[in-house]
Amino acid sequence: MIEISKTKFSAMYWHEELSLTELHWTNQESEEMKEKDYKEALLTCLGLVQSYKPSSFLLNSENIIFPITTELQEWVDENISLPTNTIIKKMAVIMPKTLIEQLSMEQVFDEKEAQKYETQFFPNYQDAFNWLTNCN
């Protein structure tokens, strides 16, 4: 696994042998994150997904404290999910710890284009990673 991107709030990793990319929201201070920061991180992620072409994606959101508004959910669907749903087949999401963020994260994956991923939600990294790599 190699780190392929790092920002104040996130880091991305690539597992070449597994065709798996991971996005980790890393900073528990993410409540300071602005919509602009969130979009920039996702646009970086989009570029890396288009370059690396992973078939699986692990989204680790357990440390995020950033409710995703309805407008932002729609932006994610149009600008991130639409161009990546033909590349990524399986998406594992580690859920945030707080209820508001959990609900908004679920709503992101209820959007039209995001429904094209085979998506599962998990409480921890190991369960998510095992599901993506078919380990039990």
Domain regions of the chain by residue span: 2-126
Burial of 39-58, coded b for 16+ CB within 10 Å and e otherwise, reads eebbebbbebbeebebebbb
Show the tokens assigned to 30.
């993410």
Give the pLDDT confidence of 81-105 residue by residue, as tens digits: 999 999 999 999 999 988 888 888 8
Inter-CA distances, 50 with 76, 80, 84, 119, Å: 15, 11, 7, 19
Give the pLDDT confidence of 12-58 residue by residue, as tens digits: 999 999 999 999 998 766 778 899 999 999 999 999 999 999 999 99
Model pTM? 0.91
